[in-house]
Amino acid sequence: MTNQSVDVCIIGCGPSGLMLSRLLAIKGVSSIILERSKRTHVEKRIRAGVLEHGAAQTIIDSGMGERLKAERMLHDGVCFVIDGKQARIDLTAYAEGQQISVYGQHEVVQDMIAFTLENDVEIVFDAADVALHDFETGVSPSAGPNAGPSASPNASPSVTYQKDGQEHTVSCKYIAGCDGFHGVSRKSMPDDKITEFHRSFPFAWLGIMAKAEPASDELIYARHRNGFALHSMRSQILSRLYLQVPLETDIADWPDDKIWDELDLRLGADAGWSVNRGEIIDKSVTPLRSFVVEPMQLGKLFLAGDAAHIVPPTGAKGMNLAIADVRVLAVGLAKMLNENDGSMLNEYSQICLRRVWKAQRFSWWMTAILHTPEGAHDTYQSRIDQADLEHLLSSDCYAKIFAENYVGLPFEV
């Protein structure tokens, strides 16, 4: 049995937990990260790969972006193929010179873990049975009405976990729940203190990673009668591609040749363009859904990233929202711990939710206009979506709104 003390106990070693720990360290606030999986598992999980302008800059400014700077692919625009017709939106022209960075989330996580350990912040991998205690009690100075119950200001939270057959306790001043959608943090909040908003979509994405040179310099989003497709990439020799498939899809029904043929069909424009084929090294099916919890705070427990909200991957906002949340949380916690000023911490949930709902709207909209539920081609809704896309691709005003959202809205904090 061990007992440790830190300012902030962070649960989850994804982009939100790792970035929070670094931003806190810069401000002299101590933290520990408790992660239930093994390091190799966390570092190899394949996720999306687009960083907004501000998210990439946050990683670079934090000191963890040396490899990102060297290896990322900076893109000025994105392409669309709508029923075989090609179009492009010049992001940089419409969004005041901002670009997106194409760089895999698992590479971001690898860079952040290496940096964190080199800088002597402890990450406990393989931490089982993580449990949160006494976070509902105690409020911070100048607490607003949503800050949690006004109980004893002296009560302090703790987190327990099992490792190597022993129970360990971390005593802390605050807990950051950065443990993703299936994590323990949000589940520790009583149901009557939170409201959850859910939306599921009637389709999934079949994603592949292939050892193939990307066939396009930019991302291509396709809307086709057979469904959505996306051409993305990770490097000059790795392509990342997706197909809309029915929810109950069994991956065994999609042999490699069938995937490539369908990608060619949906992404192929008038000019007879085709994707570059190569060895498929990863294949998965992921359902699309949206989720938000309000508020993102209860007492001294703060949720960030996927623990508080998830978006469908269209638009790649997941990792970007996680980074935006912890920017606010780090400043709020540091002001409280260093200056005894709880004003920003008490506003944490409201500040984050303003951005979260805008990203929810954007991701929902991109998903809706680019996908067609099976068998719903010649419907009123499909014509509306088509009109929406035609407007987007022919109007400077609309393209500017798209570009502003795609490269990332400005940070409030």
Q: Which residues contribute to the site for ligand PHB (CB under 6 A)?
A: 48-50, 219, 230, 232, 240, 313-316
> Which position among 103, 313, 348, 371 bears the catalytic label?
313
**Catalytic annotation on 313?**
yes
Give whichever of 184 and 241 is closer to ligand PHB, judged by the CB atom: 241
* Interactions with ligand APR, residue window 117-136 (CB under 6 A): 127, 130
Smallest gap from residue 77 Cβ to ligand APR (A): 22
CB 219 within 8 A of CB 196: no
> Which position among 312, 317, 348, 371 bears the catalytic label?
317
**Catalytic annotation on 75?**
yes
| Cα-Cα end-to-end distance for the chain | 40
Three-class DSSP labels, the chain: CEEEEEEEEEECCCHHHHHHHHHHHHCCCCEEEECCCCHHHHHHCCCCCEECHHHHHHHHHCCCCHHHHHHCEEECEEEEEECCEEEEEEHHHHCCCCCEEECCHHHHHHHHHHHHHHCCCEEECCCEEEEEECCCCCCCCCCCCCCCCCCCCCCCCEEEEEECCEEEEEEEEEEEECCCCCCHHHHCCCHHHCEEEEEEEEEEEEEEEEECCCCCCCCEEEECCCCCEEEEEEECCEEEEEEEECCCCCHHHCCHHHHHHHHHHHHCCCCCCCCCCCEEEEEEEEEEEEEEEECCEECCEEECHHHCEECCCCCCCHHHHHHHHHHHHHHHHHHHHHHCCCHHHHCHHHHHHHHHHHHHHHHHHHHHHHCCCCCCCCCHHHHHHHHHHHHHCCCHHHHHHHHHHHHCCCCCC
Among 48, 81, 175, 345, binds ligand APR (CB under 6 A): 48
Tokens of 358: 């805008």
Please count the other Cβ atoms lying within 10 Å of the Cβ belonging to residue 224: 20
Among 227, 312, 318, 342, binds ligand APR (CB under 6 A): 318
Among 8, 16, 137, 205, binds ligand APR (CB under 6 A): 16
* Interactions with ligand APR, residue window 332-361 (CB under 6 A): none
**Catalytic annotation on 300?**
no
Is position 36 an interface residue for ligand APR (rule: CB under 6 A)? yes
With CB cut-offs between 5 and 8 Å by kind, which of ligand APR, ligand PHB, none does residue 42 bind? ligand APR
With CB cut-offs between 5 and 8 Å by kind, which of ligand PHB, ligand APR, none does residue 211 bind? none
Among 58, 62, 101, 105, binds ligand APR (CB under 6 A): 105
Smallest gap from residue 279 Cβ to ligand PHB (A): 18
**Catalytic annotation on 221?**
yes
Smallest gap from residue 291 Cβ to ligand PHB (A): 17
Smallest gap from residue 273 Cβ to ligand APR (A): 29
Is position 315 an interface residue for ligand APR (rule: CB under 6 A)? no
> Which position among 94, 174, 242, 406 bears the catalytic label?
406
**Catalytic annotation on 406?**
yes
- CA 108, CA 338: separation in Å to the nearest integer? 29
Is position 327 an interface residue for ligand APR (rule: CB under 6 A)? no
With CB cut-offs between 5 and 8 Å by kind, which of ligand PHB, ligand APR, none does residue 315 bind? ligand PHB
Window of 49-57, 180-188, 192-200, 291-299 that interacts with ligand APR by CB under 6 A: 180-188
Number of residues this chain uses to bind ligand APR (CB under 6 A): 28
> Which position among 174, 221, 242, 348 bears the catalytic label?
221
Residue span 274-293 as binding mask against ligand APR, x where in contact by CB under 6 A, dash where not = --------------------
With CB cut-offs between 5 and 8 Å by kind, which of ligand PHB, ligand APR, none does residue 232 bind? ligand PHB
Angle at CA 214, nearest 5°, toward 208 and 215?
Answer: 115
Is position 104 an interface residue for ligand APR (rule: CB under 6 A)? no
Give whichever of 268 and 318 is closer to ligand APR, judged by the CB atom: 318
Among 54, 183, 227, 299, binds ligand APR (CB under 6 A): 183
Burial class from Cβ neighbours inside 10 Å (0-12, 13-18, 19+) for residue 31 reads: buried
- CA 51, CA 318: separation in Å to the nearest integer? 10
Is position 207 an interface residue for ligand APR (rule: CB under 6 A)? no
Active site residues: 75, 221, 313, 317, 406
Which stretches of the chain bind ligand APR, using CB under 6 A?
11-17, 34-37, 42, 47-48, 105, 127, 130, 178-180, 182-184, 305-306, 318-319, 322
